[in-house]
Structure 1
Amino acid sequence: MNSRRLRGLIRKEFLQILRDPSAIAIAFFLPVFLLFLFGYGVSLDARHIPLAVVVDQPTAETSAFVGGLQQSFYFAPKLFPSMQQAQAALMERRVDGIVWLRSNFSRQILQGNTASIGVFVNGVDANNARIAEGYLQGVWQNWLQQRALAAGHPLIVPVDGKDRIWFNPALRSRDYLVPGLIAVIMTLIGALLTALVVAREWERGTMEALMATPAQMAEILLGKLIPYYFMGMGGMLLSVALAVLLFAVPLRGSFAILLLASTLFLLVALGMGLLISSVARNQFVAGQIAIIVTFLPAFILSGFIFYIPSMPTAIQVITHIVAARYFVSILQTLFLAGNVWSIILWNSLALLLMAIFFLGVTLRRSHKRLD
């Protein structure tokens, strides 16, 4: 391998990147766009759930309970005069649930009997329905505790659970989504960008000119790999800076380990992009293959949004060949939990093996010939 030729190839690639606005847009503007989209536009949190409240006979007890709903950050209650109107609002999706305080609610409370509350929840979105039910239980328990304190006697319950949430105590979905999004961004930069750029060279005929030079195939591949490695790491650093400074996502782990894990994953993505470009020498075909083989699995099967253990067993097995699965696990661990070595080491080893495999297959398939 000739170092002078390699430097020339790297310089040539950097000049091509500077003259290609699309490559710079994918590497630096696309991460910013995706982070703003998922950071501000996508949320798995249930906040300000529209809720219909029907009170058949207003009393001090019902007013106190409705006041608890109005003070809750999770609900946006709306009073309806009858159940018929509330049900019509639920059917029209103007509210996502109904709380019905019947006419005998206060009488049963004052007599010391068990009072029942009618709760109807829209189950079209099953996840949102379960969250709403849990929040309603919390409001109900808080109202019972306040009522017991006002009466001067403690609330007696069979089991008093003390909840403690680790790693993401605020339960912000943004803290969970933004670290995983970095894996999707690096997949786009590494695999999609590399596949498109090399395929474009085949279309324009510049790859044939490279084949005619004395440069070895390993030098040509390194000349492609090194510039896009720096672009990928630049996009990663920009994403991490936005995650920490703009979205206030904590980075509890080591930054050096984050750099090392990002390097391993980026080598996998670059290897996949080079391999795709060696199979498909057309930009459209290379882009379609890159999206289907790299981007969609990274988005769906990596644990970025969808919980892997809840998937069917066959799909869980398939996720083990998705490189983004291992990188998402490392990212979420480093950002939210810290340096948990049992997770970092095994996932890093999987990325290392995949990087060796894809780069090795790419080098073996690449030859200085036009067929």
Structure 2
Amino acid sequence: MQGFLSRLKALIRKETRQMLRDRSNLAVGLALPLALILLFGYGLSFDVKNAPIAVVQEDHSVIARNAIAGLQGSPYLAPIWVGDMPTAEQKMRAGEFDAIVRVPIDFSRRFSNGQAQIQLILNGGDSSTASAIEGYVAGALATYAQHQVDRSGNKISNSGGITIVQRMWFNEASNSSWYLVPGLIALVMTLIGAFLTSLLIAREWERGTFESLFVTPVRPFELMLAKLAPYIVVGAIDLGMCLLAAHFLFEVPMRGSLLVVVLASMLYLGVSLLLGLLISGRTRNQFEASQLALLVSFMPAMMLSGLVFDVRNMPTAVQVVSQILPATHFMGLIKTLFLAGNDWSTIVEKSLILVLYIVVLGVATTRTLRKKLD
């Protein structure tokens, strides 16, 4: 035991010095996660704000003006009044408007009969934006109708409308940052873990320094722990930056236990580190290792884990592939902890899966670090 600890201490000291001398690795490990936090938190958003819409008001009555008054003053819509439909259609084809709201000339007459209609034409080039605008416009127009019902004292409008009381769980602010920022932790852990450690063994093979370990009593398991130790510290620093940014910059609620969030994140960091080290030991070439790490870890974590796209909407074959990825399980776990709270069935299930990945990858990695040249 004494020999194990002394060898491990010497190896960790050596790996730490080597990491600190490599300025590029430190830049990737510390500066790039900070850039990702700012980019995803501020630059990437699924929210629609100040969407330009054309308003063609053919009926200039007081009722018509009041009906569309709710379109103004909304942070989501930027209405612009246009004189006629041909002009509005031409400008929407040119990309100047995302939608057209047309108030027909007989709106006020039909409104008194409970049969009023307003035409909404949406630019379907971006379906998510079109759906959001449809909801905002419908909500703004429904406000006036509800006011009229309240003023008349009737519980049901002339058109027999039904009032829907909506309530959104887990993201009551309907803010995409609440959805993206927790997933960013998985992305940062993947980047730091898989990409940086994928270069470690490959670099030593290229420089010819790995063979010098063959004449030492160092064992593969000890070497693996020493390689991982400095980057666990870097990953912990990055995790701290992510948590601080989530709380102070983006005001994302953390409804689960902070301790569980940290422990789950460190488990996933271990998975990513071991995956990168396994790739490095297999390829023995820095260029191949870095490209392979991006292909099998970072890109799948970005596209297939549920960070951007809902896994349930993917084809069955892609869903099966996504369930093989450790990032998919961690993504579901971290979002549950942030937005829903301590769902212990999910925590235990996903944590056990991550532990299984650590065991499998750890055994595979030690086999790649055996003292042999072939």
TM over 0.5: yes
2:118 alignment counterpart: 117
Measured at CA, do residues 158 and 84 of structure 1 come closer, stay the same or move farther in structure 2, by a change above 3 Å? closer
Q: Which moved more, 1:40-49 or 1:59-68?
A: 59-68
1:147 alignment counterpart: 148
Counting only pairs closer than 5 Å after superposition, residues 76-155 of structure 1 correspond to structure 2 as 76-110=78-112, 112-155=113-156
CA contact (8 A) 1:48 1:73 kept: yes
Consecutive unaligned residues in structure 2, runs of 5 or more: none
CA contact (8 A) 2:305 2:322 kept: yes
1:347 alignment counterpart: 350
Equivalent position amino acid for 2:181 in 1:
V
2:337 alignment counterpart: 334
Work out whether 1:265 is the aligned partner of 2:268.
Answer: yes
1:73 alignment counterpart: 75
Q: Which moved more, 1:65-74 or 1:173-182?
A: 65-74
1:229 alignment counterpart: 232
Secondary structure at 2:198's aligned position in 1?
A: helix
> Which of 226, 241, 257 is the equivalent residue of 2:244?
241
1:175 alignment counterpart: 178
Separation in structure 1 between the aligned mates of residue 251 and residue 116 of structure 2, nearest angstrom = 44
1:11 alignment counterpart: 13
Equivalent position amino acid for 1:305 in 2:
V
Q: Which moved more, 1:152-161 or 1:253-262?
A: 152-161
> Which of 278, 295, 298 is the equivalent residue of 1:295?
298
Q: Which moved more, 1:198-207 or 1:292-301?
A: 198-207
- RMSD of aligned Cα (Å): 1.5
1:192-247 Cα offsets, whole Å, 9 max, x none, are 00002332222222222233322112211111012211211221121111111111
> Which of 312, 324, 329 is the equivalent residue of 2:315?
312
1:291-335 Cα offsets, whole Å, 9 max, x none, are 000001100111111101111111111111110111111111111
Secondary structure at 1:342's aligned position in 2?
A: helix
1:200 alignment counterpart: 203
Equivalent position amino acid for 1:83 in 2:
M
1:5 deviates by 1.2
Work out whether 1:47 is the aligned partner of 2:49.
Answer: yes
Separation in structure 2 between the aligned mates of residue 206 and residue 247 of structure 1, nearest angstrom = 45
1:160 alignment counterpart: 163
CA contact (8 A) 1:144 1:155 kept: no
CA contact (8 A) 1:45 1:172 kept: yes
Separation in structure 2 between the aligned mates of residue 277 and residue 212 of structure 1, nearest angstrom = 21
> Which of 264, 278, 281 is the equivalent residue of 2:281?
278
Counting only pairs closer than 5 Å after superposition, residues 211-230 of structure 1 correspond to structure 2 as 211-230=214-233
CA contact (8 A) 1:51 1:97 kept: yes
> Which of 2, 5, 11 is the equivalent residue of 2:4?
2
CA contact (8 A) 1:6 1:223 kept: yes
The normalised TM-score by structure 2 is 0.95
Secondary structure at 1:79's aligned position in 2?
A: strand
Separation in structure 2 between the aligned mates of residue 185 and residue 262 of structure 1, nearest angstrom = 10
Q: Which moved more, 1:224-233 or 1:324-333?
A: 224-233
CA contact (8 A) 1:145 1:155 kept: no
Equivalent position amino acid for 2:141 in 1:
W
Number of aligned positions between the proteins: 370
What percent identity do the matched residue pairs reach?
Answer: 43
1:174 deviates by 0.1
1:275 deviates by 0.7
Q: Which moved more, 1:122-131 or 1:291-300?
A: 122-131
Equivalent position amino acid for 2:128 in 1:
N
Measured at CA, do residues 72 and 370 of structure 1 come closer, stay the same or move farther in structure 2, by a change above 3 Å? same
CA contact (8 A) 2:282 2:368 kept: no
Consecutive unaligned residues in structure 1, runs of 5 or more: none
Work out whether 1:370 is the aligned partner of 2:373.
Answer: yes
Secondary structure at 1:64's aligned position in 2?
A: helix
Equivalent position amino acid for 1:128 in 2:
T
1:88-139 Cα offsets, whole Å, 9 max, x none, are 11101110000111111112223x2401111100111111112211222211
Q: Which moved more, 1:145-154 or 1:230-239?
A: 145-154
Separation in structure 2 between the aligned mates of residue 320 and residue 360 of structure 1, nearest angstrom = 21
The normalised TM-score by structure 1 is 0.96
1:72 deviates by 2.2
Equivalent position amino acid for 2:11 in 1:
L
1:73 deviates by 2.2
